[in-house]
Structure 1
């Protein structure tokens, strides 16, 4: 439920910023949000705690920054983990790496981490 809600909120916010629903940049950013949120739900979950999503749009650089913060200290996998060719999981952050201009992980005060990615807000890139 939280995953679908985060995707819906992301597409609504992007549209409010002038990045229309169904456009390439909107779909790309929503996919990155979905990947980051899914990783938080599947691997970053601590019982009784949820993840936080933050989006920021830098119109001067034409980039959207998507951040997902969770309360688990484990770092996300940067490389695939024995993913089946047609499987839906086990690819680490390869999809995020393919879409984002740049991504990374920051620690936070208290337990957990923030995984972030910059996604071009236009078809031309950022």
Structure 2
């Protein structure tokens, strides 16, 4: 399940992933949020708080995630992935080298630091 994280800076869109994440979750929560941010700011600052194992993302969810990434490829500015799954955190840090924008991994206890980092807009 994906739920929108409230009370973030206006230019930041964030979701919390828990339990099973499906294609419908991405279509109904993630994609509209990214689209609205893209239309309003022409750039994307994204926060994902991953409280479920990545194994709980269905195949359809991964496909929708890929579609979202490609559709907005040039608009990604900052992406923070907050999780206690070390492999995801390391992947996020490596992904930053091959994607437009910057991606950083944070532990769940570092959520405030992730939000602070996303709050600073790049010029």
Q: Higher helix share goes to which structure?
A: 2
Q: Same fold (TM over 0.5)?
A: no
Q: Could you state the TM-score of these two structures normalised by the residue count of structure 1?
A: 0.34
The two structures have a TM-score, normalised by structure 2, of 0.34
